Amino acid sequence: MKLIAGNWKMNGLKASRAMLSELVAGLQAAPTAAEVLVCPPATLLIPFAQLLEGSGIMLGGQCCHTAASGAHTGDISAEMIRDTGASHVIVGHSERRTDHGETSAQVATQMRAALRAGLFPIICVGENEAAYERGLTKSVLAEQMAASLPEEIAGFPITIAYEPIWAIGTGKTAQVRDIVDTHAFIRALLQQRFGTTGLRILYGGSVKPSNAAEILQAPGVDGVLVGGASLKSSDFLAIIAGCNTQ
- For residue 114, the domain's CATH number is 3.20.20.70
Decide: helix, strand or coil at residue 137.
helix
Please give the tally of structural domains in the chain: 1
Is residue 100 flagged as an active site residue? no
Q: Compute the distance between CA of residue 231 and CA of residue 228 in angstroms, rounded to an integer.
A: 6
Q: How far is CA 105 from CA 39, 101, 102, 184, in A?
A: 23, 11, 8, 24
Give the structural domain span for 190.
2-245
What is the per-residue pLDDT for 156?
A: 87
3-state helix, strand, coil in the chain (%, to 5): 50, 15, 35
Nearest alpha-carbon partner for 221 in 183, 192, 165: 183
What is the per-residue pLDDT for 197?
A: 75
Decide: helix, strand or coil at residue 15.
helix
Query: Model pTM?
Result: 0.95
What is the per-residue pLDDT for 245?
A: 62
Q: One of 65, 88, 93, 183 is an active-site residue; which one?
A: 93
Identity of the amino acid at 78: A
Is residue 53 flagged as an active site residue? no
Banded pLDDT at 33 (limits 50, 70, 90): confident
